[in-house]
Every structure is written in C-alpha cells, then in structure tokens.
Amino acid sequence: MLFRTASDMAWGNIQRESITQNLLEKLERRASLDSLAVLVALVIEEDHLGLRALVIKAAYSLHKVLLMLAMELQARGVAVGLIDWLVFNVLPLGVPSHLEVWMSSTDYIHASAHLNTMVFQHPERRGKSLPWKLRTRLMCKLLAGDMGIDVMHAMRSQFALRIDIGEIAADLVKEFNKTSALRTWGWMCIIDGTPQVVPPTSLL
C-alpha cells in the first residue's frame, strides 16, 4: 500500500508513495487490518520525523478506520485489547497539544455498531448482504458527511481539554466547546433517528 513500481517493466524500481491526503483516503476506503497497520506505522513514523501536520491527518484516518473495523474486531474477540492499546500509545501522537484522547474501546465499538447499522439500513442494500468493499464505501461517505452532516460530527474524535498544561488560549477553548456541542448534537440525531442536514444556528 505504501510502495509502487516506478516502471512498467517487471524489474522496475520500487518507490515509496508520498504521504498525501489522497493516500490517506485510499487507506480509509480499503479499511482492513492491512490499512490499519499502515496507518499505525505512518503515525509513528511521521511523529518521529517531526511532521506534525501529517501526524494529525494520519491519526484522524486511523480513527476513521477503527470506527469501520471495531465491530469486526469485536466479533473476533480482539477489539478491546487492540483499540485500547492504540488509544493509549498511538492516537495521542496525533492530538493537538491542548487536548487528550477521550475515547475507549467501548466508545469505538458503540460508534462502529451505529455506523454499520446505518449501512445495513441503506437503500442500496435492498435486502441483501453487502460486500465489504461497498460497505466501506458507504461508511466513508457517512463519515465525510455526504449522507448527513450529523453523522460526520457525531463520529469525529472525542477529546478532552488537558488540565496539566496551565491556561489554554480562549479561542482554542471556544473551538473545543463548539466541536463538542456539534458532536453531541450529531449523536442526538443518530439516537433519535432524525437525520439532519444542517446543525441548529446556535451551534454554528
């Protein structure tokens, strides 16, 4: 997933793919244990290189892949140990310095159950089981807000303000409160079964 052949010849040089938004989105669409492993490696690698912006982007892609995979991991009995390890050791690398990750394996499994249920209820299913490739395509659309902005906000990473770094800038606190309120609103829409295209003006 991270390498390509630089020539049409069978013996062409193997080159490393550049870490771009397109590559991260491709890894999200291919949600699997392979893409999960690649994203974990990217977060750790980019953190080691000090490429902060890329670390944050890769960590968010990792978050989305975990949302899609958590139910499958739970069915195999490995979700709790794996996700909690990632929450403690990998995801924090891609968090802004004034925030901390405020999600556990239970939160990911809960969110994944709702995300997969929404795909199960999608009209494209037509009473049939969907192949994983199509399921991930639909889940990516849901996470991107293409099927309702409420789902996009609900499924974003959940953070808490750090209390061990002194005073946090007012604009950062304001942005955190706005994001948290939108996330809560999104979950209310999902739980109530009332999809919404636009948040209330009070949250904008």
Residue 7, pLDDT score: 57
- Taking residue 81's Cβ as centre, other Cβ atoms within 10 Å add up to 11
Q: Which residues of the chain have pLDDT under 50?
A: none
Cα–Cα distance measured from residue 101 to residue 94, given in angstroms and rounded to the nearest whole number:
9
**Helix locations, 93-162, DSSP H:** 105-120, 132-144, 149-154
pTM above 0.85, yes or no: yes
Q: What letter does residue 97 receive in the DSSP assignment?
A: T
